[in-house]
Structure 1
Amino acid sequence: MTTSASSPAVQLADLELGFIGAGRLAQALALALQQAGVPVARVGSRSPAGAGAMAAMLPSCVACDPQAVADQCDLVFITTPDAAISGVAGTVAWHAGQGVVHCSGATPVAVLQPAADAGAWIGGFHPMQAFGPDPQAAVRSLPGCTVAIEAAEPALGAWLQALAQRLGCAGLTLPPGARARYHASGGYASQHVHVLLAEAVRLWQSWGATEQQALDALLPLLRGTLASVARSGVAGGMPGPVSRGDAGTVRLHRQALQAVDPAMRDLYDRLCVRGVALAQAAGRLDESQVRELGRMLQEPPASDA
């Protein structure tokens, strides 16, 4: 076991890596590290069966209890559910010079303070990626994604940056206190997209179409939108009537949505207000268009029913 590193990136292959927690993220990350030439030595979990199943996926990996992971490993990833991280940090005995890192996007690194009090280096390592039930699919999706890294100890930060590089990911150094904002941003780009698509599907269903018919039409539109954002940026790639200052079409939308569900129309209004500000900041709307859209969005909507 190596417990010091004057040149952490060079010694990366010599690190004893361990996981506490054997869920989807742990399985995908451990498999990806294994394939990148950084083997995982030990895995522990509150479920011995879960630890055993994960260890069986990894050559030379030993299933054990969480304390054995901490005793034997230089770098430990805590990959339990977020609510359990502080419990693991507080009940396991850590030692000086090892890295103890959680993989939560929003949880403050400070929940690992019991490990720091024992002399361990604490940090965060969060891949901004969705982890589904198929770990191999998750492994394939990792290259190119961003990993948010937080570590006050330079040696630990160097280890984590080197691991991100081995995975083919971009290592983002996250300042203390930014984790919740960083993680919420991922919700806008992932979770909230599902909500918006659900609203769109409801509109299709209002005239008798199926969800599949709606998705067949809307997903190519979404892919084209993403491609436009990649080419032109968020504001420059924004399509639609708000970005053109087309208040007449927005008014028709509001009327139609009010007839289906006033709450849906209210959500649309709120999004349009943000869209007007975005288009204006990009120089795509003049002052008269901004005023006209603003007045119209404040009007009580008439129903087209």
Structure 2
Amino acid sequence: MGESNGSKAVACPPPDLRAPRIGFIGAGRLARALSLALRAAGVPVVGVASRSEASARALAGSLPDCRVGDVEAVARDCDLVFLTPPDGLIAEIARAVPWREGQSVAHCSGATPVAALRPAADAGARIGGFHPMQAFGADPEAALASLPGCTVAIEAGPPLDAVLHDLARRLGCVGLTLPPEARVRYHASGGYASQHVHALLAEAVRLWRSWGATEQQALDALLPLLRGTLESLARSGVAAGMPGPVSRGDAGTVRLHRQALQAVDPDMRDLYDRLCRRGLALARQAGRLDAAGAEGVERVLDASPD
């Protein structure tokens, strides 16, 4: 721009990082839950873009003063942009959007490196990661209710790190500063407390179905057990709170389990054996199982299940 009447063009003022105007690129379940939570916390969400215009309009319709636009408009109008598309699109979007100096860009992927946002950093933007350790279902209200108390993994340099930690606090979440090299391990750990639980319960449901029971009957019986297990974990920790025959050194019951599972499916019995061996290590760690008890269970696990 040129000069007029001897005055120089004035650059736009830097964004106020204490009250950033927030936008979303991606309008899926995480974006819906996070944007609704930000609104409830008094943080303005002013723009949304998505490959699905219907999804973008649905999200914007639940937020006052939020506009639907393309990715360029969201980047232009917002101080902090959350990227919440499928993980495989994050780097592509980072390359395609015209970011600006002083802007902040954070993706909400658990496993994608923050380095995928390097094109934004090259344009002068601050980059980071903001990943809530929570599963988000199809019900927006249920997803919103699940946010308070959850951990948010934050990876960013100053001053964006302080901004993201403040947002986590305002959402009622626990901010966790995550080293870049730990990101994928952190995300994999969540699978054990989420998707792998589903896989284990599916094995249990198969056993109930083997005598003609339904999945609903199995869940009606097993979910109270799971809830009690979670309460024990919260009170006593991973090792000290573990129940079951392995933690007691009950080799006879483990033998009966293996025989029954072998008759249903040898692969199911093999998974049981592997889990029992991990459980032995936990029981020994907690001091609940002496060497003789552990050796008795190990002998059963080493033997043929027939």
The question of a shared fold, defined as TM-score above 0.5 by the shorter chain, is answered with yes
Offset, 1:2: 6.0
2:29 counterpart residue number: 24
Choose the corresponding residue for 2:179, options 170, 175, 179.
175
Partners of 1:161 and 1:171 within 8 A in 2:
yes
Offset, 1:139: 0.8
Q: State the one-letter code of the partner of 1:29.
A: L
Q: State the one-letter code of the partner of 1:3.
A: P
Offset, 1:4: 5.1
Choose the corresponding residue for 1:286, options 285, 290, 300.
290
1:43 counterpart residue number: 48
Q: State the one-letter code of the partner of 2:93.
A: V
Choose the corresponding residue for 2:14, options 3, 7, 19.
3
Larger-Rg structure: 2
Q: State the one-letter code of the partner of 2:59.
A: M
Residues 130/2 of structure 1: CA separation in 2 closer, same or farther (3 Å cut): farther
Partners of 1:102 and 1:123 within 8 A in 2:
yes
Deviations 1:21-59 (A, max 9, x none): 111110110011001100101111122332222111110
Q: Secondary structure at the match of 1:148?
A: strand
1:207 counterpart residue number: 211
Q: Secondary structure at the match of 2:181?
A: coil
Partners of 1:2 and 1:16 within 8 A in 2:
no
Choose the corresponding residue for 1:259, options 258, 263, 268.
263
Partners of 1:2 and 1:74 within 8 A in 2:
no
Q: State the one-letter code of the partner of 1:222.
A: L
Looking at structure 2, the residues matched to 105 and 159 of structure 1 have their Cα atoms a distance apart, in angstroms, of 19
Q: Secondary structure at the match of 1:34?
A: helix
Offset, 1:95: 1.2
Choose the corresponding residue for 2:150, options 129, 145, 151.
145
Partners of 1:48 and 1:65 within 8 A in 2:
no
Choose the corresponding residue for 2:73, options 68, 77, 93.
68
Deviations 1:136-169 (A, max 9, x none): 2111111111111110x21100110000000000
* Aligned-residue CA RMSD (Å): 1.2
1:184-203 alignment runs, 5 A limit: 184-203=188-207
2:3 counterpart residue number: none
Does structure 1 residue 85 correspond to structure 2 residue 90? Answer: yes
Q: Where do 4+ consecutive residues of structure 1 move more than 6 Å?
A: none
Choose the corresponding residue for 2:170, options 166, 169, 187.
166
Does structure 1 residue 233 correspond to structure 2 residue 237? Answer: yes
Which sections of structure 1, spanning at least 5 residues, go unmatched?
none
Identity among equivalent pairs (%): 71
Looking at structure 2, the residues matched to 240 and 131 of structure 1 have their Cα atoms a distance apart, in angstroms, of 31
Taking structure 1 as the reference length, the TM-score comes to 0.94
Looking at structure 1, the residues matched to 225 and 55 of structure 2 have their Cα atoms a distance apart, in angstroms, of 41
Q: State the one-letter code of the partner of 1:102.
A: H
Report the count of equivalent residues.
295
Does structure 1 residue 247 correspond to structure 2 residue 258? Answer: no
Choose the corresponding residue for 1:277, options 273, 278, 281.
281
Offset, 1:3: 3.0
Does structure 1 residue 299 correspond to structure 2 residue 292? Answer: no
Residues 297/3 of structure 1: CA separation in 2 closer, same or farther (3 Å cut): farther
Q: State the one-letter code of the partner of 1:215.
A: L
Does structure 1 residue 94 correspond to structure 2 residue 99? Answer: yes
Looking at structure 2, the residues matched to 129 and 52 of structure 1 have their Cα atoms a distance apart, in angstroms, of 24
Deviations 1:238-263 (A, max 9, x none): 00000001111001100000000000
Deviations 1:265-284 (A, max 9, x none): 00000000000011111111
Looking at structure 2, the residues matched to 189 and 47 of structure 1 have their Cα atoms a distance apart, in angstroms, of 31
Looking at structure 1, the residues matched to 57 and 91 of structure 2 have their Cα atoms a distance apart, in angstroms, of 23
